[in-house]
Chain A
Amino acid sequence: MSKEPIKQFSVKWLQILDEDGHPEPDLHLALEPKEIQSFYEVMTLTRVFDERALVLQREGRLGTYASVRGQEAAQVGSAYAFGPTDWIFPAFREMGVAIVRGVAMRMLFQYWSGDERGSEVPLSLHYFPTAIPVATHIPHAVGAAWAAKFRRDPSVVGVYFGDGATSKGDFHEAMNMAGVFQLPAVFFCQNNQWAISVPIRRQTASPTLAQKAIAYGIEGIRVDGNDVLAVHQAAKDAVEKARSGGGPTLIECLTYRIGDHTTADDASRYRTEEELKAWISKDPIERLRKFMAAQKMWTPEYGDRVLADAERRVAESVKEYEGQPAPDPADLFRNTYYDLTPPLREQMDGLLNFLKDREPRKE
């Protein structure tokens, strides 16, 4: 009795710049030098923001923070593939995506300081609030994509999550729905290889995460997540496909979380110095810089200017963030329901009266 294969699948890999920034031979880039410079500038800005956030946290001027270092190409390259009418559903480490979408850095600092006003991203940016429970926001993106298709809107929905998310039920349920309804959605899995202390080999027996798409009848591709040109190309292809009715795509960006999971974590407890060093040497910004320098898109003067500009912008955002007045205690109640319910009004009045009565004693 012989068993014949009835279906066979393969998983594609995309890399445009090798680890030293050398492009693939005969590269025909559709990108203008200005666009590539934008990638470099925003990746640098994200890096400077990230470094500043870590310093502020150590100084007690910010709460627990999740560093994005090492994932700048995966985030910036993908986010640039979307247009203003598209919708983005981030997880919690998407500072690079947020900056591309135009979310004020002042608000990102506010969010990570525990100030809810940091989540009041204007509706017009179509950038959904941060989702902390892993994978649970993926069905929301699918619902929005369903609604966009229902309304015949030309909008595409992008959703970001990590390797750990692919072990959760909501990832499966969402991917399955997107496949069944052929929705205009692009799933970005930033495989940074560590879900806190659990390495990817403990997360799944699949050799790639991209291949998980196959089970849902949708296209999956793995890209070099530290190669911003590859990420952008894969994202652009997927967005265009989705917009023209071709259905969803899963893009696995193979990258690495250089920092700790958050400032409350110590990654040296569970991973080796050698592994970390090997990935630091694959830095996505440095890779792009080498390519740009070889293409005469980067000069030391330009590099200095970009860095100085990023530092100035981040410093201004910190100033703006730290200049915010304290939140109004009534805000605690305001958005729980569309209108304050009678019990909430009573509870709010109780708190406000308590605070008012207490005030003189504080002096």
Chain B
Amino acid sequence: MPRLNLVQAVNLGLRQEMTRNPDVVVLGEDVGRDGGVFRVTEGLIELFGEERVVDTPLSESGIVGMSIGMAAYGLVPVAEIQFMGFLYGAMEQLISHASRIRTRSRGQYHCPMVLRTPYGAGIHAPEHHSESTEAMLVHTPGLKVVVPSGPYDAKGLLISAIRDPDPVIFLEPAKIYRAVKEEVPEEDYVIPLGKARCVRNGEDVTLISWGAMVHPTFEAADLAAAEGISAEVIDLRTLSPYDTESILASARKTGRIVIVHEAPRTGGLGGEIAALIAERALEYLKAPIRRVTGFDVPVPLPKMEMEYLPNPDRILQSILQVMES
């Protein structure tokens, strides 16, 4: 089985779905001849031609808006927005239309599109290239939001996203595009949307995370183990709709919760997860829930992004705090 990084895994997933379904069309800025600025779509134009791998004008709202029309017509567009920080010009298309076409037409029209975009900090890039504003998307009913944390999941989740009849935002953690390699089967497999993965079993505390942050969270669990603490690590994988059952089962088991995300704290998804646990499993809690997150500031330029991002030591600090109670 080949060992692939996340870029290669997404590329393989795209290739296989485009082969399987002639209605799948890739479009975006620099996705064709250039193969994408991260090379995720490399080689697709040679395999499928300019008609199915479409270099578009520099036009985010146009790309997303056009994808909606293509999807309503019956195609399966997989659009790329070059960085999450450039998605905002297309937010009106997502919030006012992609998410609502089915509701508005009471099921006459569907919007089975996928929007891929690299997200997150830690890649030493200029301003607007390190955003993680997933909570805005999760707060939009009608959209699904998926974030893989590694190559194996990336391929299986992407295939599910492409086959899903709803609009799916597929956030690719840019920091780990090439940092992690995993065995990725050549054959077709899917990872169902809406199901979290328990990355590591534990008894004392539950660590909940997604995307690139799963990795420092896992390292923090190692550090905690050295202190005699058994930490369970849950990778949410789908942020909307998220897997409430896995979270609650683990919360009931360990009674201690640390939520880790790189997005700003206030209004972040961590607050939603904490509220869920407070509503459904408060009686099991042995300590207050803690969040390790980015700060309520615009994500900084590279010189300070390591101070901004949660790291294993900061996560460990919160683990030790919840273990005190």
Contacts and interface: CB of A to CB of B under 8 A. Distances in A.
Interface of A: 87, 89, 116-117, 119-123, 128-131, 133, 136-148, 150-151, 169-170, 173-174, 176-177, 180, 331, 334-338, 341-344
B103 to A, nearest CB: 5
B92 A129 contact: no
7 contacts: A119-B104, A144-B70, A170-B61, A173-B61, A176-B57, A177-B66, A334-B107
Interface string B188-227: 0000001000000000000000000000000000000000
Contact of A338 (B69, B75, B166): B166
B75 A147 contact: yes
Contacts of A116: 103-104, 106
Can you list the 10 inter-chain pairs with the closest CB atoms, starting with the nearest?
A143-B69, A139-B65, A173-B62, A147-B73, A143-B66, A140-B69, A341-B241, A338-B165, A120-B106, A144-B69
B39 to A, nearest CB: 24
Interface in B37-69: 51, 56-57, 59, 61-62, 64-69
B324 to A, nearest CB: 33
A349 to B, nearest CB: 14
Given A138-B65, A170-B61, 7 more contacts: A116-B103, A139-B62, A140-B69, A147-B69, A170-B62, A180-B57, A342-B241
Nearest to A334: B107
A145 to B, nearest CB: 7
Contact of B96 (A117, A121, A136, A146): A136
B267 interface: no
Contacts of B73: 87, 143-144, 147-148, 151
Contact of B104 (A89, A129, A147, A151): A129
Contacts of A142: 62, 65-66, 69
Interface residues of B, number: 45
Nearest to B55: A180
B107 A147 contact: no
B49 to A, nearest CB: 11
B256 interface: no
B25 A150 contact: yes
A136 B65 contact: yes
B181 interface: no
Contact of B62 (A117, A147, A174): A174
Contacts of A338: 102, 110, 164-166
